[in-house]
Structure 1
Amino acid sequence: MDIQPSRIALFGAAGVIGQSVASALSAQGRHYRVVGRSESSMRRQFGHDALAEVKTWDPDSPASVQAAAEGIETLVYMVGVDYWRFELHPALMRKTIDGAIAAGVKRILLIGTVYPYGLPQTPTIREDHPREPHTFKGRMRKAQEDLLLEAATEGKIEAAVLRLPDFYGPGVEASFLHGAAQAAINGGTADLIGPIDTPHEFVFVPDVGPVVARLIDTPEAFGGRRVWHLAGVGVTSQQALFEEMQRQVGHPIKLRVAGKTMLRVLGLFKPMLREMVEMHYLQTHPVLMDDGALQRLIGPIRKTPYAEGIRQTLQAVRDGVEPTPPGGARRAKAAGIA
């Protein structure tokens, strides 16, 4: 059987956003390349999909980036770093840009966050909102974006940034809501970061992939300094989604809420929680996104209602499975893959 060449590469494909994008491309019957650090892990996640081409890379090496990006037209960048090592974001982006340009990549789409905006200056945030980060993590994310957008402005490569709010969904362990879903099904206490009644928005991870697939097929999405937003299905709160979980499981769930002071105390023992202290402003000064520009560009966007998203998230906990990977197979935690 002839292997068709991949024209799209997903760098950092092993994460939940990468799996969502891969699933969307696979559903369209499109060949794609997944790039990650561990070949065994990548083959475990994507080896069952005949449309997936697996490659490994060393993100610290532009030569390795170039080899992983050879023959690629569009590179989707979703590379994560440890939450306490955000200084790596700009360095990795610079090496990726250099390697991608050397490989002849036409465009890069960076999946970004709201961190570069800093404190919100308007009730809802459009793409032209000032980027004035007051946190270290926000400055590192802004520096990452700037490297890519400057390369695009200089005509070295086409670029776009797609910014996402917090996300949730089946198997999404990095979500604020993951622990609550576990407690809802398995018992125990749901730990949330408060205040939990503040307006907030979440994007359902399976909704992201189809949007990215459409975006990379839209030439107008890329250019000198193109930035787009994908907002949640609407404004909600952690409190509202916690109550929705209680409604769906039909019984009360024990709840424990940690504020900023408690995060500092817990951070003495857990580095991850310590690193969340500087980002606590997102719980008190929510960044709510306006994605009207994106919808005008690619048309209406399907967004899963929160009640349905919670239903699927809870069902995944009941079933003990990860998100459905590309190709349709499901992987059980009992198999030791999670």
Structure 2
Amino acid sequence: MQTVLGANGQIAEELTRYLHDNVTHDIRLVSRNPSKVHDTDQLVKADLTDAGATAAAVAGSDIAYLTVGLPLDSALWERQFPVMMANTIAACQEHGTKLVFFDNTYMYPRTAAPQVEDTPFEPVGRKAAVRARIANMLLAEMDAGTIEAVIGRAPEFYGPGKTKSLTNSAVFDRIKQGKRPVVPISAHTTRTLIWTPDASRGLGLLGNTPDAYGQTWHLPVDPERLTYEDMIGVAAQVTGRRIRHTTVPAAVFKLGGLFDQGVKEAAELLPRYHSDNIFDSTKFTTRFPDFKTTTYRQGITEILGG
């Protein structure tokens, strides 16, 4: 039995497809309101902030994947993410279940230095502090040998379906709708984006590779480095039309944050767009040389239906 905790988002759905097609049909999907991806999926309604419900949801699982996402709300993150992580760790320890944690990069330094698996955490802002806290909670248990776990870390998403990211909503979704894309802060800094199906396939592969455990892995990304201007250029080639973009400076986001809580919450993440973002997944691609990573051109073509 392999169990996906937080089974509503794009990452969880793609992970479920990978597990079903490559590993097992014995899959349990857990969330407040789970829905089947395949007829054989088992559904369990559970609130992961409830320790008993989490333990019951994990019971009988060989591997549990923690893929929970929450809206960009700092107070909500502070209340729920540490509790969910503590409950999941305790449940896996109780039942002898391996844990695979889907992590992000919010706690990394906001610099142009390449990000690797042992890059020290330097969280700035409430959401970054929460992400550092929950990663460190699991790392401490891994170091102590009290749990068999692996961390798969991903940079910002882009992708098909219901993928949620600033890049999807501000750039590719707007292009698809025939609107002018909006670029945060700078169109000329290098970005690293991960194609959501690649992130999910990579996570499932790590979870089913015994020697991957006890480590942190950067999930696989296209090694080509593009700016937003480059990506919009690819989109223009795919769609066969000229695409102009608008760059939105930080001051506009700051002003918008006075009137819109969502803009205010997103503003914490904006400093990372001032400098290049170089997320290095060499460790993963070296260990798994046959893994086929989606190129930006392939991904953008799929999103835009080219």
TM-score, normalization by structure 2: 0.91
- Residue 54 of structure 2 is aligned to residue 62 of structure 1: no
- Residue 68 of structure 2 is aligned to residue 79 of structure 1: yes
Task: Output the CA distance in 2 between the equivalents of 1:151 and 1:297.
Answer: 24
Deviation at 1:93, TM superposition (A): 0.8
Secondary structure class of the residue paired with 2:259: coil
* Identity percentage of aligned residues: 22
Partner of residue 97, structure 1: 89
Letter in 2 for 1:209: S
Task: Output the CA distance in 1 between the equivalents of 2:10 and 2:206.
Answer: 18
Divergent runs of 4+, >4 A: none
Structural RMSD (CA): 1.9
Task: Output the CA distance in 1 between the equivalents of 2:44 and 2:184.
Answer: 38
Deviation at 1:60, TM superposition (A): 1.4
Partner of residue 294, structure 2: 304
Task: Output the CA distance in 1 between the equivalents of 2:85 and 2:132.
Answer: 11
Partner of residue 174, structure 1: 165
Task: Output the CA distance in 2 between the equivalents of 1:236 and 1:69.
Answer: 40
**Which blocks of at least 5 consecutive residues in structure 1 are unaligned?**
1-6, 319-338
Secondary structure class of the residue paired with 1:67: helix
**Which blocks of at least 5 consecutive residues in structure 2 are unaligned?**
none
Task: Output the CA distance in 1 between the equivalents of 2:166 and 2:16.
Answer: 20
Task: Output the CA distance in 2 between the equivalents of 1:221 and 1:112.
Answer: 15
Partner of residue 295, structure 1: 285
Deviation at 1:283, TM superposition (A): 0.4
Give the alignment partner of residue 256 of structure 2, picking from 249, 266, 281.
266
Q: Conserved in 2, the CA contact under 8 Å of 1:74 and 1:107? A: yes
Give the alignment partner of residue 250 of structure 1, picking from 235, 240, 243.
240
- Residue 232 of structure 2 is aligned to residue 237 of structure 1: no
Task: Output the CA distance in 2 between the equivalents of 1:278 and 1:242.
Answer: 25
Letter in 1 for 2:236: Q
Deviations 1:314-338 (Å, cap 9, x if unpaired)?
Answer: 12xx9xxxxxxxxxxxxxxxxxxxx
Letter in 2 for 1:148: L
Q: Conserved in 1, the CA contact under 8 Å of 2:64 and 2:100? A: yes
Secondary structure class of the residue paired with 1:286: coil
Deviation at 1:175, TM superposition (A): 4.2
Q: 1:29 to 1:255 in 2, by over 3 A?
A: same
- Residue 24 of structure 2 is aligned to residue 30 of structure 1: yes
Q: Conserved in 1, the CA contact under 8 Å of 2:220 and 2:293? A: no
Letter in 1 for 2:261: P
Secondary structure class of the residue paired with 2:91: helix
- Residue 194 of structure 2 is aligned to residue 203 of structure 1: yes
Bigger Cα displacement from structure 2, 9-18 vs 20-29 = 20-29
Secondary structure class of the residue paired with 1:195: coil
Task: Output the CA distance in 1 between the equivalents of 2:197 and 2:8.
Answer: 14
Task: Output the CA distance in 2 between the equivalents of 1:211 and 1:18.
Answer: 12
TM-score, normalization by structure 1: 0.83
Bigger Cα displacement from structure 2, 298-307 vs 159-168 = 298-307
Secondary structure class of the residue paired with 1:152: helix
Q: Conserved in 1, the CA contact under 8 Å of 2:188 and 2:229? A: yes
Task: Output the CA distance in 2 between the equivalents of 1:305 and 1:277.
Answer: 29
Letter in 1 for 2:265: E
